[in-house]
Amino acid sequence: MPDLSHEYRLGGCIAGVDEVGRGPLSGPVVAAAVILDARNLPEDLAGLDDSKRLSASRREQFATILRGCAIIGIGAASVAEIDRLNILQASLLAMRRALAALPVSPDAALIDGNRAPKGLNFPAHTLIKGDHLSLSIAAASVLAKVVRDRAMARLSERYPGYGWERNAGYGTAEHLDALRRLGATPHHRRSFAPVRAIFAGHAAEV
C-alpha cells in the first residue's frame, strides 16, 4: 500500500502529481496535484490506493474525503493540444497546470513515472509506480480519475452511442464499433491510429 515515506524523505511541503487519460481515443488528459498534511490525515483515508485498484464508488468516496482534507490542484490538456503536442507532452502540460492551480507553492513535487514537467519553480522528483508507493500520488491519481470520468460522462450526453459514460473514451469494443458506425467527434484524438483511420476513410470518400 502507498504511504508517505517518499514525502518524508524529501521533507517540507510535497505535492504528489499524477495524470489520467493517456490511453483513451477521446477526451482530455487530466492531472491532479495533491498536498497531504501527515499530521491531520482522517482515518477514513485508510485503503487509499492507486485509482486503478479501486472501484468507481470507492474512488468517489475518497475524492470527497480528499476535498475536505487536502490541498488540491487540477489541470488538463485538451484534445487539440494532445494532437498538436503528442500525448506525452500534453500529459506533462496537464501536470504543470495542476501544480500551478495549487493555492500554495510546494517545496517540491513528486511525479508518477519517469518524466517530470519542465519550467517549475521548485524541484520535481520522479517515482516509477509512484501511485503504488506514494500516498499523495495515489490521492492525485484518484482525483484525476474522478474528474476525468465525470467529464467523459457529461460529454457522453452530448455524443451518445460511444459509451463514454462506461469506457471513459478508452478503445473498448463498444467504442471502436461506434467509431466505425458513427464516425469521429470533435473530442476524438485524430493523432491516435484508430481515429486517424476513420478520418482518412471519410476523406477518401469525399
pLDDT, tens digit, for every residue of 139-151? 999 999 999 999 9
> What percent of the chain is predicted at pLDDT more than 90?
94
Strand partners, 73: 33
Kindly report the average pLDDT of the chain as a whole number.
95
Report DSSP letters for 95-155, one per residue: HHHHHHTSSS--SEEEEESS---SS-SS-EEEETTHHHHBHHHHHHHHHHHHHHHHHHHHH
Determine the pLDDT at residue 201: 67
Average pLDDT estimate for 51-79? 97
Asked if pLDDT for residue 204 goes beyond 50, the answer is no
Task: List phi, psi (to 5°) of 168.
Answer: 55, 25
Q: Which three cell numbers stand for residue 86?
A: 503528442
Asked if pLDDT for residue 202 goes beyond 80, the answer is no
Strand partners, 112: 127
Average pLDDT estimate for 73-94? 98
Asked if pLDDT for residue 205 goes beyond 60, the answer is no
Class of domain 5-158: alpha beta
- Give me the residue label for grid cell 474528474: 147
Of 4-8, 19-23, 118-122, 193-197, least confident by mean pLDDT is 193-197
Among 49, 18, 54, 35, CA closest to 141: 18
Residue ranges per structural domain of the chain:
5-158
Average pLDDT estimate for 50-64? 97
**C-alpha–C-alpha distance, residues 166 and 170, integer Å:** 9
pLDDT tens-digit map of 85-129: 999 999 999 999 999 999 999 999 999 999 999 999 999 999 999
Determine the pLDDT at residue 206: 32
**C-alpha–C-alpha distance, residues 44 and 194, integer Å:** 42
**C-alpha–C-alpha distance, residues 27 and 46, integer Å:** 31
CA torsion 201-202-203-206 (nearest 10°) is 120
